[in-house]
Amino acid sequence: MASYDTGYEDELFQHPVGHTLHCGICMNVLKNPVTCRHNEHLFCRACITIHLMNFQTCPSCMEPLTVESLRQAPRAVTNLLSELKIRCQFFDRGCGQFVELGDLKRHVADCGFAPAVCSNEGCQVEVNKHDLLHHETAVCELRRVKCHSCNEIKQEMDTVKFNLAAMNEKLKEVGKKMDRNQENVNSCVEKANVEVGNIVAEVGNVVTNVVVKVELVQEQLNKQEECNRRLEADNVEIKRSLNEITKQLERMTRQTSRKVQAEEMKKGIAEGEVDREPKVVVAGGWNGSRDLNSVEMFSLLNGTWTVDSDWRS
């Protein structure tokens, strides 16, 4: 940004400025022009004031001069200066206007390219004045966003979490019942399968509802980024809980299947269902010195060999 503390630089003006309107010290176009007491030599007020701090004479005619004896420039000079067309102070920010020097102060105060700082807490971004409102309300990542249905969405999410906690308690109760009724596994398994099936169906419905609601929430929160950050943690927790419940169901199903198989095998052996026991039958063979004509059976269940004495009959 150009500095106007002393005179105005020539390149800021739309057209060349005559040498009579230049300061005798800084050689720039006069700003707040004053003259010496007798010969009316023209200077910027800032330039001659700094000069008189060290010298008490006019730098052009060398006559005695003080700050108190300075005179205002003639009206003709000030009128000519005020009609000169000069660039806006904020031309480097995009303002391309040339305004009369006499209107420069008013234009600068109202210029839409003047720097303005975002008022949103924590932002401090500097933009052009005419872009400030759009930045603060539509662009700034720290802007305040109104959420018209956040309370309703939060209540729905709380309800979903409550239902998940309740289903988790039901799963714990099912596990306890299975531990207490191991002596009657077959009947317990049937009942547990029904309950697990109902819970799985219920979880499926909840998952479907959660997915639908999450998609609706996500669509709304595309325009409500503030709420999205608050709900994201809840969404992750729900998915984690669903994964834990699914893993518990899979473990319970595998445990139930193993218990049923074990009980059925024990029950078959106890009732004398020999034919259902898996065995390996070996007939004949060689013992190292002679041929054998015996039949032996290996029990896969007990891991023992027995000789079949009735094979000849």
Burial zone of 190 (CB within 10 Å; 0-12 exposed, 13-18 middle, 19+ buried): exposed
- Compute the C-alpha angle 206/209/211, nearest 5°: 105
pLDDT at 26 over 90: yes
Q: Is 0.75 topped by the overall pTM?
A: no
Give me the mean pLDDT over the 188-217 stretch.
75
pLDDT at 287 over 90: no
260 is written with which tokens? 């049923």
Higher pLDDT, 282 or 19: 19
Given this model, what pLDDT does residue 268 score?
61
Given this model, what pLDDT does residue 201 score?
81
pLDDT at 56 over 80: yes
The whole-angstrom separation of Cα 83 and Cα 101 is: 6
Give me the mean pLDDT over the 180-198 stretch.
73
Give me the mean pLDDT over the 150-158 stretch.
75
pLDDT at 224 over 50: yes
Give me the mean pLDDT over the 112-122 stretch.
92
pLDDT at 1 over 60: no
pLDDT at 145 over 70: no
What architecture does CATH give domain 10-100?
Answer: 2-Layer Sandwich (3.30)
Give the β-pairing of 279-286 and 291-299: antiparallel
Given this model, what pLDDT does residue 78 score?
95
Please state the φ and ψ torsions of residue 110, each to the nearest 5 degrees. Answer: -100, -5
Chain-centre distance for alpha carbon 185: 52
pLDDT at 205 over 60: yes
112 is written with which tokens? 């839409």
- When mean pLDDT is compared over 119-133, 255-269, 284-298, the highest value belongs to 119-133
Mean pLDDT (the chain, rounded): 81
Q: Which residue reads 């997915």 in tokens?
A: 211
The whole-angstrom separation of Cα 100 and Cα 34 is: 20
pLDDT at 94 over 80: yes
pLDDT at 52 over 50: yes
Given this model, what pLDDT does residue 8 score?
94
Given this model, what pLDDT does residue 277 score?
61
Lowest mean pLDDT among 65-69, 92-96, 124-128, 260-264: 260-264
Given this model, what pLDDT does residue 285 score?
66
pLDDT at 80 over 90: yes
pLDDT at 4 over 50: no
Give me the mean pLDDT over the 177-203 stretch.
74
Q: How far is CA 289 from CA 72, 124, 285, in A?
A: 142, 102, 11
